[in-house]
A and B are shown apart, each in its own frame.
Chain A
């Protein structure tokens, strides 16, 4: 049972344009969401997160939007740069968990073309 889904395996955008990566979840107990970025042969790096008490969080070129009623979150990258080309994972967790266990989506490979 895939509780966190990224339905687009890949996305290609032109440099300077907006990249929108999507993520859906099914478990209504999730109340904290994260995005990670992964380059080949490296570990994932934390990018941005959002709590369920918010619907938007922004950090520079990266903005995460949360739609709780739709159980959907998205990551916007504006403007996209070639260095953003990587695999992006969304993840979710419940604040009631003491272990910090995250549930990850399958990942979306973003290619930003110069």
Chain B
């Protein structure tokens, strides 16, 4: 079974705080993705990474940054959280023995910024 672990299920932060969302995979998968999900907007890609220290912007990177220092861990960083970043954040992986077309998701982190 593919295991994608997101460090927190629920987070409450204050405006202006720096927020770290962690995603860890248990296999040797190259590609990792961060999405946010909002009602009526579907899943929107924030950033993705196809290798250690490699990253590419997705469709909505503004206000976010990422870090991938080790293959198994991909972090999403909100430098200064704002209320419009209240959302469900989802990490996904693909690649390796999974092939590159099917993404497998973590359970998600529900972030509320007050």
Interface positions of A (Cβ within 8 A of B): 6, 9, 32, 34, 36, 38, 41-46, 49, 89, 91, 93, 95, 97-102, 104-107
Report yes or no: B31 in contact with A49, Cβ–Cβ below 8 A: no
A109 to chain B, nearest CB (A): 9
- The answer for the CA separation of A42 and B48 in the assembled complex, in Å, is 20
Q: Which residues of A contact B37 (CB under 8 A)?
A: 38
**Cβ-neighbour of B100 out of A6, A41, A45, A99 (below 8 A):** A99
Report yes or no: A41 in contact with B108, Cβ–Cβ below 8 A: yes
Report yes or no: A42 in contact with B108, Cβ–Cβ below 8 A: yes
For the complex, is B107 an interface residue (Cβ under 8 Å from A)? yes
A6, A34, A38 pick with most chain B CB within 10 angstroms: A38
**Contact status of A100 and B100, CB under 8 A, knowing A89-B43, A106-B40:** yes
Inter-chain pairs besides A42-B108, A43-B90, A101-B45, 13 sampled, C-beta below 8 Å: A6-B42, A32-B101, A34-B101, A36-B105, A42-B107, A43-B92, A99-B100, A100-B103, A101-B33, A104-B44, A106-B40, A106-B41, A107-B42
